Amino acid sequence: MLIRVIVALLLIASLSRPALAEDRLTVVLDWFVNPDHAPLFVAEQIGAYKKRGLEVKFIAPADPSTPPREVAAGQADLAVSYQTQIYLLADQGLPLVRVGTLIDKPLNVLVALPASGIRTMADFKGKRIGYSVPGLDEALLDTMLGHAGLHLSDVHLVNVNFALVTSLMAHQVDAVTGAYRNFEVNELKEHGLSPVVIDPQAEGVPADDELILIANRKSLSDSRLPRFLAAVKEGEDYLQAHPQEAWEGFIKSHPDLNDTLNKTAWFQTLPYFAADPFRLDGPRYTNYADFMLAHKLIAKTLPLGDYAVQLKEQE
């Protein structure tokens, strides 16, 4: 009888005890929510974070330049950023390191309209090119033009900020760099135009990971990070196996994105997502570091481990 009473009391105590809180993780996106972030939100849809004891909060920044600095300041755990930016951040001495990859193929392209007369890089002499990111965009254009025997001095650069499509359609420029093949190119097509698309990698620019996840170096031993990446991988696997169902779940949570442009981008971006967000392509990163140094965008190249690591997936 006494044993039964004790067991009953223990059962009541266990039922009245609050459930253990999930580990919270804050992730600042690179920009507003869009299909480029699909694996992150599909992982949320299918409960992959919750299964690993994580409560993940995604934040869209008001200023796309601030997410890495929030992580450096300890105000967020992770930030979505770009491989091209991690070198600049490391060069500034910020304690930031790549820990994962979301999109492992370049999306950036150079775009012109047929009326400009541009078909290849050799046609750019005397043309106006709109850009958004000083320094980096100039380095990309310098390389691409050089591939055709031209120089930056042969073109007119116009800083259009991020008004790439509008500046091109208003004929303020003849071409723009920094356009994404899965967004701006499709947006131009929606307007009935037939954009001329030039791939930077075909013109001498080294390949890079388009979207990466960066963390504070102090947090590399934090068990939440590999758990998060494992959940993202599960989301990516589900996305590839069930793209239509994943899209329907995405627009249910983000109904404002339910339009032709975002739906087209959703399915067009599928081949660009990293199959394994943990995997680090070391040679690709060191090769791009040499490119950055050659164009004087960074003062020196650092050891790979100073700005990019591959976390160990937990069993």
Can you spell out the DSSP letters for 259-313? SHHHHHHHHHTGGGB-S-TT---HHHHHHHHHHHHHTTSSSS---GGGTB--PPP
Give the whole-angstrom CA distance, residue 223 versus residue 56. 14
| Answer CATH for 22-104+209-306 from 2.160.20.10, 3.40.190.10, 3.30.1330.10, 3.40.50.300 | 3.40.190.10
CB-neighbour burial class of residue 100 (10 A; exposed 0-12, middle 13-18, buried 19+): buried
> What was the pLDDT predicted at 12?
43
pLDDT score at 194: 96
Rg, C-alpha atoms of the chain: 23
User: For residue 22, what pLDDT is reported?
Assistant: 79
Residues 6+ apart with CB under 8 A from 127: 112, 116, 118, 155, 156, 174, 175
Which residues of the chain have a pLDDT value below 70? 1-21, 315
The pLDDT value recorded for residue 77 is 98
The CATH label, of 1.10.730.10, 3.40.50.720, 3.40.190.10, 3.40.1390.10, for the domain at 108-203 is: 3.40.190.10
Q: Tell me where in the chain the CATH 3.40.190.10 domain(s) lie.
A: 22-104+209-306, 108-203
Give the model's pLDDT for residue 162. 85
